[in-house]
């Protein structure tokens, strides 16, 4: 949940995207041929270059057969759990539940009385295991319940994105994470099924940290996930485990996100590792432990320009691929200095960019109506003092005193402290973004709830009027002109 613009784009089966609402049917993919390739390549004895050559020949044969498409009966495309090609995604993230984030639940960190505890790694490292586990179990049992899923469905949403860390599946010696999240993941899938919601299981934290953010599980100056093949291998194994776990439940678990926000801005080596990982994890989602899998693969853009992925994982081998990008206008001094009208204009302009795309149907998978970075611990918890690192908006973030915009009072906290004009501002920024993002495939807001940052909370927005009970019932339908 950091840096730049996030969209989540569903890669259609051909190079062009049909116009939404035009009645066009998705062009048919030859999934049967791809399945043959996967099965043959998986069953050939691994005897070096011979296996590679046979796989390449098999794929070449499959590709040539695709040319007969006009002569053959239609072969059913990838059967996904949600009609991404024809319906809008309207969803919400379940942030701060199975992966801790200090700004979402600051009380969990403040109550430790230890300033060194700044992320989930240190939450286990600097506490007695029994104490930490008891605290987490209480949190897991209460932060998100079936009632939340019921409310999400009643709000007209159809997706939840569920972040989870690698440590829920396995840990190595010296890794202090507390395990126990998997039963709650399974409960969540059951609740989603009961209330008609789709789930995107999102690997939010990887071994070594893929971005150094506290929401990866371990805050650090430089991410190390990409620096060791063992980290990547462990991640691939976990993705295969997730895909196998839910291979018969794609009607609910419609998508798997192999990794959240790898830090491509750190260098080409991160991008190269990420690109290969997207391909390798795709194979595990499609063929977990030799079994067929139909979950959509959601790959993040690694903070690179959206069009830089245009020729990546395209036909004929890949199908059911989503490109995930995150849209925030608050993580730089310049963005915090924008006026409300400028924030709205930026959102509306981005919608026009989405609509003009002819290669990717884009879904914005993380965004917020908040246009400040004022929330406590949003930029981190100081590991020496235990205090908030600070905000760019009020100039308390290191190095931003000269670019201060104003006070954070009344711009974060409980909705009961918000003025009517601020609630109106939140309503306008929410609608401008939701409306713009629906010019493509839709959106997934971050996040459903937060302890003391209601400006980020979908639940609080519903209760206090800046988010409509029906997400398509706009108060400002002409806000983008």
Q: Is the pLDDT of residue 70 over 90?
A: no
Q: Looking at the annotation, which residues are catalytic?
A: 261, 366
Domain containing 391 — which CATH number?
A: 3.20.20.80
* β strands within 116-261, DSSP E: 159-165, 198-205, 253-259
Measured from the Cβ of residue 87, the count of other Cβ atoms closer than 10 Å reads 12
Q: Is 184 in contact with 140 (CB distance < 8 Å)? A: yes
E strand or H helix that includes residue 237: helix 229-245
Q: Tell me what the mean pLDDT of segment 320-334 comes to.
A: 92
Q: Tell me what the mean pLDDT of segment 450-477 comes to.
A: 98
- 134 plus 245 within the same structural domain: yes
- 210 plus 144 within the same structural domain: yes
- 196 plus 60 within the same structural domain: no
- Residue-level pLDDT at 360: 56
Query: Would residue 373 count as lying in a domain?
Result: yes
- Residue-level pLDDT at 374: 99
Instruction: Look at phi and psi of residue 92 and say left if phi exceeds 0, alpha if psi is from -120 to 50, else beta.
Output: beta
Query: Would residue 1 count as lying in a domain?
Result: no
- Residue-level pLDDT at 242: 99
| Beta carbons within 8 Å of 225's beta carbon, 6+ residues apart | 206, 207, 208, 209, 210, 231, 232, 235, 262, 273
Cα distance between residue 193 and residue 244, in whole Å: 18
- 216 plus 313 within the same structural domain: yes
Q: Is the pLDDT of residue 73 over 50?
A: no
Cα distance between residue 337 and residue 347, in whole Å: 15
- 332 plus 206 within the same structural domain: yes
Question: How many domains is the chain built from?
Answer: 2
Q: What is the pLDDT of residues 4-63, one digit of tens each?
A: 443 444 443 322 222 223 222 233 334 444 444 444 444 443 333 333 333 433 333 443
Measured from the Cβ of residue 178, the count of other Cβ atoms closer than 10 Å reads 20
Q: Read off the tokens for 340.
A: 């409300």
Query: Would residue 407 count as lying in a domain?
Result: yes
Cα distance between residue 472 and residue 461, in whole Å: 15
For 230, the domain range is 8-29+77-464
Give the mean pLDDT of the chain: 86
Q: Read off the tokens for 250.
A: 């794609």
Pick from 310, 251, 257: nearest CA to 444: 257
Residue 295: strand, helix, or coil: coil
- 237 plus 135 within the same structural domain: yes
- Residue-level pLDDT at 36: 44
Cα distance between residue 313 and residue 320, in whole Å: 10
Cα distance between residue 292 and residue 286, in whole Å: 6
- 42 plus 167 within the same structural domain: no
pLDDT band (50, 70, 90) for residue 309: confident
Q: Is the pLDDT of residue 250 over 70?
A: yes
């Amino acid at each position: 949940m950091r840096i730049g613009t996030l969209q989540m784009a569903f890669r259609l089966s051909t190079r062009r995207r049909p116009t939404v609402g035009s009645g066009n049917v998705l062009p048919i993919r030859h999934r049967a041929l791809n399945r043959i390739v996967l099965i043959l390549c998986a069953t050939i004895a691994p005897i070096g270059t011979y296996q590679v050559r046979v796989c390449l020949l098999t794929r070449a044969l499959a590709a040539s057969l695709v040319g007969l498409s006009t002569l053959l009966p239609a072969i059913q495309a990838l059967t996904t759990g949600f009609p991404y090609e024809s319906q809008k995604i309207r969803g919400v993230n379940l942030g701060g539940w199975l992966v801790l984030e200090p700004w979402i639940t600051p009380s969990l960190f403040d109550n430790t009385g230890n300033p060194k505890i700044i992320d989930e790694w240190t939450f286990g490292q600097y506490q007695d295991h029994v104490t930490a586990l008891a605290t987490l179990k209480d949190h897991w049992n209460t932060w998100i319940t079936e009632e939340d899923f019921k409310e999400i469905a009643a709000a007209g949403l159809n997706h939840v994105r569920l972040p989870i860390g690698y440590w829920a599946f396995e840990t190595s010696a010296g890794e202090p994470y507390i395990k126990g999240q998997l039963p709650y993941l399974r409960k969540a899938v059951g609740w989603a099924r009961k209330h008609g919601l789709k789930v995107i299981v999102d690997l939010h934290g990887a071994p070594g940290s893929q971005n150094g953010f506290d929401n990866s599980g371990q805050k650090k100056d430089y991410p190390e996930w990409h620096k060791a093949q063992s980290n990547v291998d462990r991640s691939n194994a976990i993705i295969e485990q997730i895909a196998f776990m839910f291979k018969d439940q794609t009607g609910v678990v419609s998508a798997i996100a192999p990794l959240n926000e790898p830090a491509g801005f750190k260098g080409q080596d991160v991008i190269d590792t990420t690109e290969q990982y997207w391909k390798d994890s795709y194979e595990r989602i499609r063929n977990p432990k030799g079994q067929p899998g139909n979950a959509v693969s959601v790959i993040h853009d690694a903070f690179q320009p959206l069009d830089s992925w245009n020729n990546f994982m395209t036909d004929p081998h890949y199908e059911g691929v989503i490109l995930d990008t995150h849209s925030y206008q608050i993580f730089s001094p310049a963005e915090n200095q924008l006026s409300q009208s400028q924030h709205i204009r930026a959102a509306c302009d981005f919608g026009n960019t989405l609509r003009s795309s002819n290669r990717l149907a884009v879904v914005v998978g993380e965004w917020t109506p908040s246009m400040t970075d004022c929330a406590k611990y949003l930029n981190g918890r100081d590991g020496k003092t235990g205090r908030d690192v600070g905000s760019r908006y009020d100039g308390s973030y290191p190095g931003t005193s000269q670019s201060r915009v104003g006070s954070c009072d009344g711009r974060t906290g409980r909705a009961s402290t918000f003025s009517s004009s601020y609630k109106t501002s939140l309503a306008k920024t929410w609608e401008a973004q939701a409306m713009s993002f629906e010019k493509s495939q839709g959106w997934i807001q971050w996040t459903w709830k937060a302890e003391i940052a209601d400006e980020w909370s979908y639940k609080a927005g519903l209760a206090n009027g800046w988010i409509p009970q029906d997400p398509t019932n706009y108060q400002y339908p002409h806000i983008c002109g």
